[in-house]
Amino acid sequence: MGERNDSALSRALVKASVRESEGGDGDDEAAPTAEPAACAPLVTCHCGTLRRFVSRPVCAAEQRAYGYALEHAVIALPATTAAVVCARARPNCSSAPGDAPLDIWLGDTRALAELVGASGGAVGALDACAHALDSTARGLVVFAHGSSGTSGASLRIVRSLAGRGYAVLVPESMANGRARQRARRGVADGAAAAAANYWAFDPLYEPGSRASGRLVYSTAPARVRAAPRHHRALYADVHKVRASELAHVLRRLPARLRAERGVLLAGYSEGAMALARLPFGACAPAVRVLASALLAWGCERCYFAPCAHAQIAADVAPVLCALGTCDPFFGAAATSCAAAVGDALWAGEPAEPAGAWRLEGSAARALERSAVPCAFVARLDGAAHDVTRTHDRVVGALLNAFFAAPHDAHALLERADAAAASARVRAVESRESAAGGHVTVATLGSDDDGHAGARA
């Protein structure tokens, strides 16, 4: 397709996105948009728009708007894959105290391109590595990080997955400084960052670096209550940009990986919210989604996810959800941020009877109402928002077993590779989704492995 037609497609997608943002969630305040011509989202939760988007060649406008997410993406490779990619890609990561060494290489797509001598930036590097990724890794996981970037729990889970044999690609949403949306300064010494302590929170960014840009938001309930319409519009804008980044990265992957073998998806907190809004069936056949893991978010309507119809759009892929019972942002307790601002956001909405929005602190209800074929919901007993602090091994085991056999999610706890999770089961129940799918809900205890001191 020529450049002229590509540009026309981009303009149409931008217009479709703007129309949805104006009427999607019933708010009469438009989403804040600083530079609509340069950075308006091209993808929304609308299936038709997404289907057209992923089935067309990438146009120049889209590359300018979202190319940063792939060009600055973090990538983690199992040692076996890294060795095939390049002999110089040696294991460079530290492991959790008391655990076996992590046999992985951690870097970014720019470093990968340099190692393999590929032209064409990140896309060229991935094309050059496609055979190695397909033949040696257990699967390719595209991971959507949380609101602070590839740090904390997001980075630990990426390391954990790579240590279990998965290649992990993390689109970098914090590199969007050109459009003044949201950015953080990355460290210059990538090797030192990779070798940082497993429990270090922010090794990939400059010390003291804070996100800046118009999409940086507050989680303080008082601020949200003071300007509910502004925050609803702001959060919606964040999610649309994140979903657009993810869709862009997915379709830039080599066809051998995205369409033939298929990809595994995972997201943490804000990343999980963006991921949940992508209707996977609409991505086919350009992108074949095998499974989706949504972590540290309960797939419930709250002030971070204000659109009543967009909690979860899962339709063809199995889903794993994990949320701490003591999550201060999305937990069911009256003191959680979501609960504290609920009345201010939903008061007076005729479509939301009093109390209808009340949080359950679990994705079970949302998945029951969805068309998901099968799902596993983990309630991590006692876990806060950073679930790795108390359930690092449990979450690692869940992801490992789930990604190995997504359609057997109902039997996940029976798998040998889920032993770290099944040994800590406190309660299990079975439910059914609206489409007749199987939804398993389990309450799981913590690792309780004596490493709490190392995690402080």
Ordered mean pLDDT values, 10 residues apiece, the chain (456 residues): 36 37 29 34 48 69 87 93 84 75 88 88 93 94 95 95 95 81 81 84 87 83 80 83 89 92 95 83 81 92 62 75 93 82 59 59 85 92 96 96 95 91 92 88 83 40
Spans of all domains in the chain: 67-212
Instruction: Render pLDDT for 364-384 as a digit per residue (tens, 0 to 9).
Output: 888 888 888 899 999 999 999
Give the span between the Cα atoms of 96 and 199, in whole angstroms.
Answer: 7
Give the span between the Cα atoms of 328 and 17, in whole angstroms.
Answer: 32
Residue 346 pLDDT: 57
Up-side HSE of residue 431: CA atoms within 13 Å toward CB? 19
Residue 307 pLDDT: 57
What global pTM score does this model have?
0.85
Residue 228 pLDDT: 77
